[in-house]
Amino acid sequence: MEKKWWQDKIAYQVYPKSFLDSNGDGIGDIPGVISKLDYLKQLGVDIVWLSPVYPSPLADEGYDISDYYGIDPRFGTLDDVDRLIAEAKKRNMYIVMDLVVNHCSDEHEWFRKACEDPDGKYGHYFYIRERNADGSIPTNWRSYFGGNCWEPLPGHPDKYYLHVFHKKQPDLNWENPELREDVYRMINWWLDRGIAGFRIDAIINIKKPMIFRDYPVDREDGLSDIECMLEDAQGIGKFLAEMQERTFGPHDAFSVGEVFNEKKEEIPNFIGEGGYFSSMFDFGETIFGASTKGWYDRKPCLPEDYKRCVFQSQRSVGTVGFLSNIIENHDEPRGVSRYIPAEELSARSKKALAGAYFLLRGIPFIYQGQEIGMENKTFTSREELDDISSLNEYDVALAAGCSREEALAAVSAYSRDNARTPVQWTAEENAGFTTGTPWLAVNPNYKAINAAAEEDDPDSVLNFYRRLSQLRKNPEYHEALTWGSLKPWLETQKNLMAYVRELGGQRILVSVNMQCEPQEMTLPTDRYDVILSNLESGQEPEQPSGGKVKLGGWQMTAALI
């Protein structure tokens, strides 16, 4: 595969609203991000992805954009973005923005014009349909955030518009070449401004079936899972290839797609050489255990499940392309709370999980706060929730017969708000996030878990992430850890996640004991030279004997073999 500038990079996701507030209004902002670039540099971050900072009514926290060419005053100004790009550049870092073009906000000018004249130019920017002859909505599709996908078009009671997310997020009609041209113009405008690329939101949704029809009803609400519509939609490649050729390709930009439902045979088209995207997220373990009924019916992802999902994704991509690896993002609970059984959660196990995913083949993404081991928050009432998806899932759970406590427990475990509580910088009030009142309450555990406390502690999660980055960048191992193949080792040994990264004769064995009890691991070769471990200072990993090595509880080790 052709070498590209982004293949050996480490990325970090900033959710601006919750990152750092520079002016005391309780909302994180771009100047806040700029002030932490040195911190990110020290963490080994090369690429910083900003979740949306464009003008938005914030119905879906910025994923509902009302002007693609501006910056919401809550987050700063275009000048701030230019300064961010320049400051990043000084540090050899890159800024990546969020591209949200499956839909815009219902407050975007395009939608307002579509409402004024549904048969005019901008009417064709959306999916506008007449009511059915019997007065019913055009199709029975359930939106991601609950309820049906159709909303009466303001001013036109006989017409509906399609929204697969919230009703304030009308879907854009990608079949219309004029719309596509407008999107490409906007992408190129940002790339010309100096950003290095985009994370591409909800992109699998841009292709709809040519014929809109009902699918089997799967809940009491009389609607069908939106996945049925997506399954039926063929030919997304045409749009994705065109976008790549017109925008990312000529700019040599980095693009990472939010792709959930790829089929193995499509992977080369998506992220192979000359593919639609540079990379796409691996969501194998993220979607594990999901239920069409709702969050209340989800199955937990145990260490064995985690390992199986990750290896399956690694296998299906092989060396064809580069996955982007995560343990969490702004839509998910905290990875440490999700993948580590609650009673086993500790700095040691957090570091073990970090080591397990960070050295996989692909681009490691760190989500803000992950590097200090931030955990889920416990939400004690519906009023503490902000996220529209969580609010809907709470209601879904109640409607399915759960008690309030059960509904709250389900939402607490999976709420997107878990990742959106402010970053815990210090042990001071509001975790040093703001001098005002934070827009979303901080996690009360900030006195124990915060960046300042971890700074000087050699055994902290933060310092372990730094060591992981250093290992990936160390010229001695950099090539194998970037371009090397990955082969699982002793894949069926319970709660052992081990794999070998190999390139040109160099082999690095990464082994993680994902349980509190020690366990023995048979080694593939006689050699076992440890180059990194998550053990506390003063502790040494055990030496092998008789071709085996003993791994302590939640021990993670990387060794040359």
Q: List residues binding ligand TEU (CB under 6 A).
A: 60, 63, 100, 144, 165, 201-202, 258, 330-331, 389, 416
Q: Which is nearer to ligand TEU, 421 or 533 (CB)?
A: 421
CB of 439 to Ca ion, least distance (A): 9
The H-or-E segment that residue 65 falls in is: none
CB hemisphere CA count around 36 (13 angstroms): 26
Q: Which is nearer to ligand TEU, 165 or 215 (CB)?
A: 165
Q: Pick from ligand TEU, Ca ion, none: which does 110 bind, CB < 5 to 8 A by kind?
A: none
Q: Pick from ligand TEU, Ca ion, none: which does 144 bind, CB < 5 to 8 A by kind?
A: ligand TEU
Among 18, 21, 49, 105, binds Ca ion (CB under 5 A): 21
The H-or-E segment that residue 161 falls in is: strand 156-162
Q: Pick from Ca ion, ligand TEU, none: which does 416 bind, CB < 5 to 8 A by kind?
A: ligand TEU
CA gap 380, 135 in Å, rounded: 41
CB of 449 to Ca ion, least distance (A): 23
Identify whether 201 is a catalytic site residue: yes
CA gap 6, 363 in Å, rounded: 8
CB of 383 to ligand TEU, least distance (A): 19
Residue 201 as a binder of Ca ion (CB under 5 A): the answer is no
CB of 267 to ligand TEU, least distance (A): 19
Exposed/middle/buried for residue 525 (C-beta within 10 Å: 0-12, 13-18, 19+):
exposed
Residue 29 as a binder of Ca ion (CB under 5 A): the answer is yes
Q: What angle do CA 383, 389, 392 make, to 5 degrees?
A: 70
Q: Pick from ligand TEU, Ca ion, none: which does 297 bind, CB < 5 to 8 A by kind?
A: none
**Cβ contacts of residue 10 below 8 Å, gap of 6+?**
44, 45, 46, 47, 363, 364, 366, 469, 472, 473
Q: Pick from ligand TEU, Ca ion, none: which does 63 bind, CB < 5 to 8 A by kind?
A: ligand TEU
Q: What is the DSSP string of 328-378?
A: --TTS--HHHHHS-GGG-SHHHHHHHHHHHHTSSSEEEEETTGGGT--PPP
Which of 61, 72, 201, 386 is the catalytic position?
201
Q: Which is nearer to ligand TEU, 223 or 471 (CB)?
A: 223
Q: What angle do CA 126, 52, 204 make, to 5 degrees?
A: 50
| The one segment of 16-24, 238-246, 274-282, 386-394 that binds Ca ion by CB under 5 A | 16-24
CA gap 445, 457 in Å, rounded: 18
Residue 25 as a binder of Ca ion (CB under 5 A): the answer is yes
| The one segment of 20-28, 137-145, 158-166, 369-377 that binds Ca ion by CB under 5 A | 20-28
Closest CB to Ca ion: residue number: 29
CB of 60 to ligand TEU, least distance (A): 5
CA gap 419, 552 in Å, rounded: 30
CB of 201 to ligand TEU, least distance (A): 5
Closest CA to 481 of 549, 528, 531: 531
Q: Residue 299 has which token pair?
A: 């199955």
Which of 258, 375, 393, 417 is the catalytic position?
258
Torsion of CA 430, 81, 419, 389, to 10 degrees: 120
CA gap 212, 113 in Å, rounded: 24
Q: Which is nearer to Ca ion, 160 or 439 (CB)?
A: 439
Q: Which is nearer to ligand TEU, 46 or 201 (CB)?
A: 201
Q: Which is nearer to Ca ion, 29 or 258 (CB)?
A: 29
Identify whether 428 is a catalytic site residue: no
CB of 24 to Ca ion, least distance (A): 7
Closest CA to 289 of 410, 146, 173, 390: 410
Q: Which is nearer to Ca ion, 28 or 364 (CB)?
A: 28
CA gap 87, 81 in Å, rounded: 10
Q: Pick from Ca ion, ligand TEU, none: which does 379 bind, CB < 5 to 8 A by kind?
A: none
Q: Which residues bind Ca ion (CB under 5 A)?
A: 21, 23, 25, 27, 29
Q: Which residues are catalytic?
A: 201, 258
